[in-house]
Amino acid sequence: MRKRIYLCLAHMSGNEMKFIQEAFDSNWVAPLGPNVNGFEEELRAFVGASEVVALASGTSAVHLALLDCGVGPGDEVLVQSFTFCASSHPVTYLGAAPVFVDSEKDTWNMDPALLEEAIKDRIVKTGRKPKAIIPVALYGMPYRIDKIMEVADKYGIPIIEDAAEGFGSRFDGKVLGTFGRFGVLSFNGNKMITTSGGGALICPGKATRDRIMWLATQAREAYPYYQHEAIGYNYRLSNVCAGIGRGQMTVIEDHLAHHRHVQKLYEELLADVEGISVHKAPDARFDSNFWLCVMTLDEGLKIAGQENAYAEKITTAVGGAAGVVHVSGGVHTDCEPNQNVEAMRVFLDAAGIEARPLWKPMHKQPVYKDSPAYLNGVSEGLFKVGMCLPAGPLVTDDDVRYIVEKIKEAIVR
């Protein structure tokens, strides 16, 4: 029986057990210790930054960056709409409001022209400029950071780069996460490297790094007893998880090379398939890690079983998602992938291949239905036609050929 092919699974192929065993042997298992220090040092060297704080998740990194930018109740933060909810949820944790900005067609990331339009309009409507800007490296593709920074600098608004999916991606030779005031990284179990769960915040200097560390350590003051003069958070990464990360750092270049190789293979094998397009980098400046490889299906492309797409209500998690316990409220929502995309997902799933739709734009999420949004139709249009394909370190060339074979088999001519 053929193995199931997942989008991106963790691959423990470095020195993970060595560092984990050292943590156990030394009894350093708390959110401090030699592995945490070593992991932060290795991250600094890899991204070329002066300061990095290892944290419990990428979401906590976004939260702490927002806090340091002074975001609080009543403020607004400009967030890329085409992203995972971890980019916007921390804004609401702070009592602030996300203002969503749509994407441009080539990178699928924040549209710089629409960003400036949003800033101008928010100033007119509220009398204040937004407190921060959060562009996102969707599926690893670099955002047009040169243009975004031009806009941000013009209005004096700090940038928090959400490079959670873009670890190792570069724009014009420089690593993502090192352009703005802060850079957010994620080491979830499905990312380019993993710490099982975890993240990091790239900081502009030691003073900022110390503030982030203080907030992440329950804002404890320097007394011989526990003294708290501000609200803090339990956001530090454990020494055990950091050990996994240190082992993963020994193979990060291999992981990056693998994802880029898989992307090239998809591009080659799907090049002549009418109705299918593989998302590519706009030009040589956009050096994506291709965390996930993505294709789009023309609306007129017919897929086997399409007439039965969305025929059954989903009652559990799809695609290995953990913790999904709420049964869906219905079969359809007001913004969903086209029938041929859902039919392709079901067809591939039956063939043992995990594929999934793109991120549903945040401005179409019910929880954000009342949030301001500056739209051009790009993210909604892509969500209707796009699909993520397996690209992780465990995906072989034969797997890619099998996936493409099944994609072709699903198409009805």
Of 17-21, 29-33, 239-243, 404-408, the range with the lowest mean pLDDT is 29-33
Instruction: Encode pLDDT of 160-194 as tens digits.
Output: 999 999 999 999 999 999 999 999 999 999 999 99
Rg (CA), the chain: 21
Extract long-range pairs of 208-211: CB within 8 Å, 24+ residues apart. 208/51, 208/68, 209/51, 209/52, 209/53, 211/68
Kindly state the tokens that stand for 196. Answer: 């099982």
Pick 253-410's CATH classification: 1.10.8.60, 3.90.1150.10, 3.40.50.1820, 3.40.50.970.
3.90.1150.10
The reported pTM is 0.96
Are 33 and 245 in contact, with CB atoms under 8 Å apart? no
Does the pLDDT value for residue 327 go beyond 80?
A: no
Q: What pLDDT score was predicted for residue 316?
A: 61
Count of CA atoms in the C-beta half-sphere (13 A) of 326: 3
Q: What pLDDT score was predicted for residue 312?
A: 77
What contacts 72, CB < 8 A, 6 or more positions away?
94, 95, 96
Kindly state the tokens that stand for 61. Answer: 């990194």
Closest CA to 19 of 213, 245, 226: 245
Residue 291, amino acid: W
Pick 16-251's CATH classification: 1.10.10.10, 3.20.20.70, 3.40.640.10, 3.40.1440.10.
3.40.640.10
Tell me the average pLDDT across 200-208.
97
- Phi then psi for residue 118, to 5 deg, are -65, -45
Give residue limits of the domains in the chain.
16-251, 253-410
Kindly state the tokens that stand for 175. Answer: 């690593």
Percent of the chain with pLDDT over 90: 88
- DSSP letter at 358 equals P
Sign of the alpha-carbon torsion through 52, 56, 62, 63? negative
Distance CA 176, CA 186 (A): 13
- DSSP letter at 226 equals -
- Phi then psi for residue 38, to 5 deg, are -65, -40
Distance CA 377, CA 388 (A): 20
Closest CA to 391 of 403, 407, 406: 403
Distance CA 271, CA 374 (A): 34
The packing angle between helices 252-270 and 239-249, to 10°, is: 60
Instruction: Encode pLDDT of 88-131 as tens digits.
Output: 999 999 999 999 999 999 999 999 999 999 999 999 999 999 99
Q: What pLDDT score was predicted for residue 322?
A: 61
Q: Give the mean pLDDT of the chain.
A: 95
Q: Coil, strand or helix: which one is 107? A: coil
Extract long-range pairs of 282-286: CB within 8 Å, 24+ residues apart. 282/106, 282/107, 285/142, 285/171, 285/172, 286/107, 286/141, 286/142, 286/171
Instruction: Encode pLDDT of 251-306 as tens digits.
Output: 999 999 999 999 999 999 999 999 999 999 999 999 999 999 999 999 999 999 99
Phi-psi region of 50 (alpha: psi -120 to 50; beta: other; left: phi over 0): alpha
Q: What pLDDT score was predicted for residue 28?
A: 77
* Two domains, one topology: 16-251 and 253-410: no
Q: What pLDDT score was predicted for residue 79?
A: 98
Q: Coil, strand or helix: which one is 65? A: helix
Residue 286, amino acid: F
Does the pLDDT value for residue 325 go beyond 70?
A: no
Distance CA 163, CA 147 (A): 17
Of 20-34, 316-330, 360-374, the range with the lowest mean pLDDT is 316-330
Distance CA 240, CA 286 (A): 34
